[in-house]
A = this chain, B = another copy of it.
Amino acid sequence: MPQPLNLHPDRLFPADPTVRAIARRLYDSIKDLPILSPHGHTDPRWFAENPSFGNASELFIRPDHYVFRMLYSQGISLERLGIPRRDGAAVETDPIAIWRLFAGNYHLFRGTPSRIWLDTVFSEVFGMTVALAPDTAEQYYHAITEKLATDAFKPQALMDRFNIECIATTEGALDDLKYHGAMKGGAMEKRVITTFRPDDVVDASREDFADNIKKLGELTGEDTHSWDGYLAALRQRRAFFRDHGATATDHGHPTAATANLSHAECRTLFELCISGKAGSAQQELFRAQMLTELAGMSIEDGMVMQIHPGAFRNHNPRIFEGFGRDKGADIPSPTEYVKALKPLLDKYGNDPRLSIILFTLDETSYARELAPLAGHYPCLKLGPAWWFHDSPEGMLRFRHQVTETAGFYNTVGFNDDTRAFLSIPARHDVARRIDCRFLAGLISEHRLGEDEGFELARALTYDLAKKAYKL
């Protein structure tokens, strides 16, 4: 006998009736605001070519590292989940078998945000009324897969249904942005924008770094084997990205280190890095220097700079060798900001034209470092709870630990940061509910007026993102 799938209208609000009623009032005032998604990893092809999304397993399992990392942690091989191997060796290809395996282990997600997002998509997007479980697996598979074949479930229709006003994708510095180009002049032009993520030409520890620098030269006609030519090429690419809608850059570095070297030191370091002879400390110094260089370029061209430090990428070499990047094996590390950012801040920190949005995977920095920094430096704002912390408890810790020192207005609203397009409304809904809940707590304790709460609910949902990302 299947359990019903009920999304309670008051989900994620606290049980206390006073606080819940306030949270509900705030939420009702903002739940229908359009979605701004200023940082994420959806595929621009979807919006340009409007394809169907395939079957339920392709949509929900294969691309979602939150899902398969949990299954893997309980001994289920990635091969059985149909994750393609780099060596082309056989993996499960029957999507129904994969879906059954997932459904049979759906209990593993109890208490996780994936469970909330998935149930919300199942209910709100696909209209499911029973819970996913072994005995409903096939019913789910077929219901979802059939709907995905219809026009109403194609990307452009969903953009409207989801009320997405603007979504940013993320592309590497060498990307030709052909899908963004193809959208020019169409209905999606201003709704789908790119983001400039130059890690591929900034991180000299990558195996493809030398190649990438060469390609950067070919793309731009600059001599990218000279420091000045390299910088000129980056400026050119930034302009190209801006022409395809980009208002922001993004930097996924292992640490928040910045540097402020002389021009001569930069030249020497750059030459060492492109020679392939740089050690890891020199590669780290180069990344550090490049954050400062890129901040300088942001002052010139007005692009907002996002820094996402602190992930130890590809921690599990067997998974990396077998399946490649982004397979659930990235692990957060302790991340220091106060000393790390000082060289950049010493140079540019007081410049009102600069806007840097900081993220962290190390929650200990919220109250100790990030809120004090953002509560002082005009150029700094704090991005929302990120990745492993994009969750009800993670968001509550963010607000509880950040607000008293940084206030609300040094934060920038929500980022869904996802490649799972169908989950975007669910993710924003969690953020909206949790923000309203947090505000309701303050109001119920007479730390904030309810009139202020309505203003803030709107700011956290819409206004702050619009302003911070210059949308």
Which residues on A are within 8 Å of B, measured CB to CB? 3, 7-8, 10-16, 18-19, 69-70, 72-75, 107-113, 115-116, 131, 312, 315-319, 328-329, 331-334, 336, 338-339, 342, 345-346, 349-350, 352, 361-364, 367-369, 371-378, 380, 388-389, 391-394, 400-401, 403-410, 441-442, 444-449, 451-452, 455-456
Q: Is the CB of A405 within 8 A of B112?
A: yes
Distance A377 CA – B318 CA, assembled complex (angstroms): 11
| Residues of the B chain whose Cβ atoms lie less than 8 Å from the Cβ of A316 | 345-346, 349-350, 376-377
Distance A366 CA – B401 CA, assembled complex (angstroms): 15
Q: Is the CB of B389 within 8 A of A367?
A: yes
Q: Who on chain B is nearest to A391 by CB?
A: B404
Q: Is the CB of B73 within 8 A of A376?
A: yes
Q: Is the CB of B408 within 8 A of A388?
A: no
Distance A336 CA – B376 CA, assembled complex (angstroms): 25
Residue with the greatest number of chain B CB neighbours at <10 A, chosen from A109, A110, A362, A375: A110
| Residues of the B chain whose Cβ atoms lie less than 8 Å from the Cβ of A408 | 110-111
| Residues of the B chain whose Cβ atoms lie less than 8 Å from the Cβ of A19 | 15
A-B contact pairs, 13 of them (CB 8 A): A10-B446, A15-B19, A69-B376, A110-B407, A111-B447, A312-B338, A315-B338, A316-B377, A318-B350, A319-B350, A332-B369, A391-B405, A393-B404
Q: A69-B376, A328-B376, A407-B70 are in contact. Are A369 and B333 (CB under 8 A)?
A: yes
Distance A377 CA – B70 CA, assembled complex (angstroms): 9
| Residues of the B chain whose Cβ atoms lie less than 8 Å from the Cβ of A342 | 315
Q: Is the CB of B112 within 8 A of A378?
A: no
Cβ distance A343 to chain B, nearest Cβ, rounded Å = 11
Q: Who on chain B is nearest to A377 by CB?
A: B73
Cβ distance A134 to chain B, nearest Cβ, rounded Å = 14
Query: Other than the known A73-B378, A316-B349, what 9 A-B pairs have Cβ atoms closer than 8 Å?
Result: A15-B441, A70-B375, A112-B405, A112-B407, A115-B447, A316-B345, A319-B350, A334-B336, A334-B368
Q: Is the CB of A404 within 8 A of B368?
A: no
Q: Is the CB of B445 within 8 A of A15?
A: yes
Q: Is the CB of B369 within 8 A of A331?
A: yes
Q: A316-B376, A332-B368, A338-B331 are in contact. Are A445 and B14 (CB under 8 A)?
A: yes
Q: A10-B446, A378-B73 are in contact. Are A332 and B328 (CB under 8 A)?
A: no
Distance A107 CA – B333 CA, assembled complex (angstroms): 35
Distance A69 CA – B375 CA, assembled complex (angstroms): 6
Top 7 closest pairs, chain A to chain B, by CB? A8-B446, A11-B446, A15-B444, A111-B403, A391-B404, A15-B18, A331-B372
Q: Is the CB of B368 within 8 A of A407?
A: no
Cβ distance A321 to chain B, nearest Cβ, rounded Å = 11
Q: Who on chain B is nearest to A409 by CB?
A: B108
| Residues of the B chain whose Cβ atoms lie less than 8 Å from the Cβ of A15 | 16, 18-19, 441, 444-445
| Residues of the B chain whose Cβ atoms lie less than 8 Å from the Cβ of A404 | 111-113, 388, 391-394
| Residues of the B chain whose Cβ atoms lie less than 8 Å from the Cβ of A108 | 407, 409
Cβ distance A449 to chain B, nearest Cβ, rounded Å = 7
| Residues of the B chain whose Cβ atoms lie less than 8 Å from the Cβ of A373 | 331
Q: Is the CB of B70 within 8 A of A378?
A: no
Cβ distance A220 to chain B, nearest Cβ, rounded Å = 34
Q: Is the CB of B110 within 8 A of A11?
A: no
Cβ distance A435 to chain B, nearest Cβ, rounded Å = 12
Q: A112-B403, A407-B111 are in contact. Are A376 and B331 (CB under 8 A)?
A: yes
| Residues of the B chain whose Cβ atoms lie less than 8 Å from the Cβ of A449 | 3, 131
Distance A371 CA – B352 CA, assembled complex (angstroms): 39
Distance A331 CA – B398 CA, assembled complex (angstroms): 18
Distance A75 CA – B445 CA, assembled complex (angstroms): 31
Cβ distance A470 to chain B, nearest Cβ, rounded Å = 15
Distance A405 CA – B336 CA, assembled complex (angstroms): 22
